[in-house]
């Protein structure tokens, strides 16, 4: 196996809300208590935020 032109794939993370895979460089990240959460965009971040704020 010889791969001279190996393309280095960007590291991917999955969105915390919709579980879509996104390159880490494009992800919105929020540092939570113990770990970092990723979102594909502000839409998902807002969704998560609203959920988190609702004490049910
Ligand atoms: Zn998402």
The helix/strand/coil state of 35 is coil
Distance 4 CA to ligand 1 centre (A): 35
Is the pTM higher than 0.85? The answer reads: no
16 touches 51 (CB < 8 A)? no
Distance 5 CA to ligand 1 centre (A): 32
- Whether 1 has a pLDDT exceeding 90, the answer reads no
pLDDT score for 33:
83
The structural domains of the chain, with segments of one domain joined by +, span: 12-53
Distance 56 CA to ligand 1 centre (A): 22
- Whether 47 has a pLDDT exceeding 80, the answer reads yes
Just give the CATH number of 12-53. 2.30.170
Distance 12 CA to ligand 1 centre (A): 13
H helices within the chain, ranges in order?
A: 42-53
Neighbours of 39 (CB within 10 A): 24
């Amino acid at each position: 196996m010889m791969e001279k032109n190996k393309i280095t794939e960007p590291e991917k993370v999955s969105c915390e809300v919709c579980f879509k895979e996104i390159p880490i460089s494009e992800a919105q990240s929020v540092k939570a208590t113990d770990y970092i959460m990723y979102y594909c965009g502000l839409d998902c971040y807002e969704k998560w935020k609203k959920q988190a704020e609702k004490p049910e």
